[in-house]
Amino acid sequence: MKSSIRRQFRVYRYVFYRETLIDPREHFWSFVGAFMGIFVIAYLQSLSFPSLENVFLIGSFGASAVLVYGAIQSPLAQPRNLIGGHVVSAIVGVTVGQFLPDIIWLTAPTAVALSIVAMQITRCLHPPGGAIALIAVIGGTKVESLGYWYVLSPVLSGALILFIVALIFNNITKNRHYPIRSSRLRRSRRQQIERRRRA
């Protein structure tokens, strides 16, 4: 009986990685932060445009909310990644849409692939950025008519709203810190710099 329970527990540990096991008290703050971040963007959307033209409320903001409010320790959720990833990807997506012919099987993969490389080069990888680039080329006439204004609004403005709300709600309790103060990524970068200086 005990060996069966231990075996099930081992399987449980492999199926549910340690990073996905969150203190139940964190669920409340993840909910409140995500709700408020998307609420502010949706409210501004409702004031500015008819409900049929969801320009501000981009689907990738939902994915960003998962990272920024639910996985705040992730390097991909940090401010540089959140804001930079969105902006870089939007610039790439709009540029691809402007210069390549309107052939979906060409523009869509080009925009996503180039946005990934651009985010890697600028060290601001943020997975929802791929969706931002994709929306820039498949978003319809309203997004296309925005041109490079798409980068400023809704992309930059929405990312800034998510960031400001994250600063407020991710720092209310003593257990949550955003942005993280000592990430593994920052430590490894500092170690690389120190090694180069010594060499």
* Per-residue H/E/C for 68-120: HHHCCCCHHHCHHHHHHHHHHHHHHHHHHHHHCCCCHHHHHHHHHHHHHHHHH
Q: What is the pLDDT of residues 46-56, one digit of tens each?
A: 787 665 466 67
Q: What is the pLDDT of residues 71-112, one digit of tens each?
A: 998 999 999 999 999 999 999 999 999 999 989 999 999 999
The band of 173, judged by pLDDT with boundaries at 50, 70 and 90, is confident
pTM over 0.85: no
Q: What is the pLDDT of residues 128-169, one digit of tens each?
A: 999 999 999 998 888 888 899 999 989 999 999 999 999 999
Asked if residues 162 and 87 have their Cβ atoms less than 8 Å apart, the reply is: no
Query: Tell me, what DSSP letter sits at residue 147?
Result: T
The torsion angles phi and psi of 104, rounded to 5 degrees, stand at -60, -40
Cis peptide bond upstream of 50, omega within 30: no
